[in-house]
Amino acid sequence: MLNQILDRPTVPADAKPMAKEFISNVFLYMFGALLITGVTSWWFADSGLTLNLYNLETGGLNLLGYLVFFGPIGLVFLMQLGMNRLSYQVLAFLFIAYSVMLGMSLSAIFLVYELGTIAGAFFSTSAAFGVMAVLGYTTKTDLSKFGSILYMGFIGIFVAAIINWFIGSSMLDYIISMLGVVVFTGLTAVEMQRLKWIAYDPTLQGLTRKKLALLGGLRLYILFINLFISLLSLFGGRD
């Protein structure tokens, strides 16, 4: 079906505005989430609230810290699995909650990295993400065949990161970051092509289309954040 859409010689006149509106909404959700995360992260770090996530005696996370760091995983599963059952308003609220919690957890980067390093990683992430998003949207090649491999890599990186959380290997951290850059940039292109397919699908209308745009923004947001973290780790490791 994807090839049929990409190779279609003509597109109905009303499909292009509809697709443009869908993609615009996807990026609106994504940028809104990034703004919420950025503001929350900066406020938490600047006010010293970040320290409330840690046990100051051991240096590890306290109960609140574990909730903030791992709670977003549960929210993502809830949103993905509950798309058909949950209302749009509930999904939007969960997305905002996810963005806030991620901002709280990411506030720790201001305690570890210099602002110049963070800014460099952010702009590099923006450039790489933008290039791959355009590539994924405009290419005629079916990228879905790479999606399963890349998502397996995503899962592998997640598992390895959890393991490294406990063993603290700098070499494993470097490998995870390098693989993360490859996997997350690749998935950006794959995801953009998938969103293009959804945007031009005339059978997806109304509330379903609205929810899919929100979840599309969530997926791109997650890829952007993970790519940023991978690049930040590499940039910080060179200091």
Segment 136-171, tens digit of pLDDT:
999 999 998 898 899 999 999 989 988 988 888 889
SS3 137: helix
Distances (CA, A) of 46 to 42, 51, 115: 6, 11, 12
Confirm if 188 and 227 have CB atoms less than 8 A apart. yes
Whether 13 has a pLDDT exceeding 60, the answer reads no
* Residues in a beta bridge with 54: 61
List pLDDT tens digits, range 52-100.
999 887 778 899 999 999 999 999 999 999 999 999 999 999 999 999 9
Residue 42: pLDDT over 50? yes
**pLDDT greater at residue 104 or residue 8:** 104
Q: What is the mean pLDDT of residues 212-223?
A: 96
**DSSP class of 55:** -
The answer to whether residues 174 and 234 touch, using CB atoms and an 8 Å cutoff, is: yes
Of 44, 166, 170, 167, nearest to 111 (Cα)? Answer: 44
Q: How confident is the model at residue 236 (pLDDT cuts 50, 70, 90)?
A: confident
Contact call for residues 235 and 174 (beta carbons, < 8 A): no
Instruction: Please give the pLDDT value at position 113.
Output: 93
H helix intervals, the chain: 2-6, 15-47, 63-81, 88-106, 109-112, 115-138, 144-167, 170-199, 206-237
Q: pTM for this structure?
A: 0.90
The model's pLDDT over 125-136, given as tens digits with 9 standing for 90+, comes to: 999 999 999 999
Residue 239 has pLDDT above 50, yes or no: no
